[in-house]
Amino acid sequence: MVPENDKSNLTGSFAGLRVLDFSTTIAGPHCARMLADLGAEVIKIESAEGETMRIRPPLRNGCSTTFGQLNVGKKSLVLDLKSEAGVEAVRRLVGSADVLVENFRPGVMKRLKLDFETLARLNARLVYCSISGYGQSGPSSELSAYAPVIHAASGYEMAHLAHQSGRMRPDNCGIYHADVLSGVYAFGAIGAALYQREKTGCGQHIDVSMLEAMLSLTLNEVQWSQFETKPYQRAVFGPIQTSDGYVMVAVASEKTFQGLVRAIGRAEWVDDPRFAQYVERRQNWAALMDGVEAWSRGVTTAECLAALASEGVPSAAYRTVKQALQDPQLAHRGALAEVEDGGGSFKVLNQPFRMSSAKVAAGRKMATLGEHTRTLLKD
């Protein structure tokens, strides 16, 4: 056990691991960066033009911080995978690799003769992870897919819409849950495969489906879709209005319900037959929250949060990401790391977990395109 005040000599849990990252955009790069943050040597393989995310804004001196967020800490190797020389270079690298991550459409790596079956003959210990929209086989496997398409196909957007009273049109998609979630599932599966390899000596192929990853977010809806349920008048979790903003309040237990009614000065509602038991309370949720909002509209957001906190009711003001990043809690945990690229310095998120005996940290520098090509091919 490392003393809490002396973690300077820690190494990452995946130190010594070599990863070949063929992935593009978000899902695969996010997974591979997680591996890099835990100490793996991640080699990002790109074409001479570079991955498309390299030109996504914000750009400074031609360098994308969005690309940097996803790829900091990786080495950069430029190869032409359509050439025999490029494929042969990959085959040589595979001999010393532990993990390969790719998120091409199913069939692409096979056409390049870089599929799992081919490469496993060169390295039986290789853990090969494929991320795709619908999975590697099946009637939908070859369909084109990006996160917004998967959001729609999975039912996620319509499930979200069902909680928006009076609305019929699904929301626009601007936050790519499917990509990040699929990358995290891939990361977890890779860790499990590496553990199994320690026992068997053999690698394996991991097949991550973005569609199934998104379905895992709709836990309640998966069950509700199988059985007849009665719709409620008002969503359980929604904003309450204050005199100067909005607050989210989460009433998810008897204790928090009792704290809520005390906070708003309606302690007698604990025994009100409309609210006393969960089933009746749920049927009368609109009346309950209308009463809460009658109180909250007369106080400021700060006053509302103070009253709720005094009774132990989970709540938060609605913030922008920019506001959230100023939270002292994030500074306390070191949630942001400062890194450098050709445009200067910028901040990226560290992983949302800490380990008492292992280093978990973003790399300090973003590699330029092809920076490590000569060294890696020479080795």
Q: Would residue 84 count as lying in a domain?
A: yes
- Would 168 be classed as within a structural domain? yes
Q: Is the residue at 36 inside a domain?
A: yes
- Average of per-residue pLDDT across 150-172: 93
Radius of gyration of the chain (CA): 25
Helix axes 254-263, 301-310, angle to 10 degrees: 130
Do residues 273 and 366 share a domain?
no
Q: Rounded to whole angstroms, how far apart are CA atoms 318 and 141?
A: 39
Contact 29, 53 (CB under 8 A): yes
Q: Are residues 212 and 347 in the same domain?
A: yes
Task: Output the pLDDT for position 9.
Answer: 79
The count of structural domains within the chain is: 2
In a shared domain, residues 191 and 293 = no
Domain boundary among 268, 284, 317: 317
> Are residue 312 and residue 359 in the same domain, yes or no?
no
Mean pLDDT in the chain? 95
Place of tokens 């130190």: 15
Considering the domain architecture, whether residues 124 and 251 belong to the same structural domain is answered as no
Residue 232 located in a structural domain: no
Same domain for 312 and 176? Answer: no
Are residue 312 and residue 169 in the same domain, yes or no?
no
pLDDT, one tens digit per residue, over 327-372 is 999 999 999 999 999 999 999 999 999 999 999 999 999 999 999 9
Contact 203, 128 (CB under 8 A): yes
Domain membership flag for residue 370? yes
Whether residues 110 and 211 fall in one domain: yes
pLDDT score for 8: 67
Angstrom distances, CA of residue 211 to CA of 21, 30, 74, 148, 302: 22, 17, 28, 11, 40
Asked if residue 35 is part of any domain, the answer here is: yes
Is 292 part of any domain?
A: yes
Q: Which of 296, 317, 338 is the last residue of a domain?
A: 317
Verify that 313 and 333 share a domain, yes or no: no
* pTM, entire model: 0.93
CATH (domain of 295): 3.30.1540.10
pLDDT greater than 60 at residue 4: no
Average pLDDT over residues 297-322: 97
CATH at residue 183: 3.40.50.10540
Q: For a pLDDT cut of 70, what percent of the chain falls above it? A: 97
118, 37: one domain = yes
Q: Which residues pair with 349 in a beta bridge?
A: 336
Check pLDDT > 90 for residue 232. no
Are residues 291 and 337 part of one domain? no
HEC string of the chain? CCCCCCCCCCCCCCCCCEEEECCCCCHHHHHHHHHHHCCCEEEEEECCCCCHHHHCCCEECCEEHHHHHHHCCCEEEECCCCCHHHHHHHHHHHCCCCEEEECCCCCHHHHCCCCHHHHHCCCCCCEEEEEECCCCCCCCCCCCCCHHHHHHHCCHHHHHHCCCCCCCCCCCCCCCHHHHHHHHHHHHHHHHHHHHHHHHCCCEEEEEEHHHHHHCCCHHHHHHCCCCCCCCCCCCCCEEECCCCEEEECCCCHHHHHHHHHHCCCHHHHHCCCCCCHHHHHHCHHHHHHHHHHHHCCCCHHHHHHHHHHCCCCEEECCCHHHHCCCHHHHHHCCEEEEEECCEEEEEECCCCCECCECCCCCCECCCCCCCHHHHHHC
**139 and 97 in a common domain:** yes
Q: Which domain-ending residue is among 317, 345, 368? A: 317
Range of the domain at 256: 246-317
Residue 362 falls inside a structural domain? yes
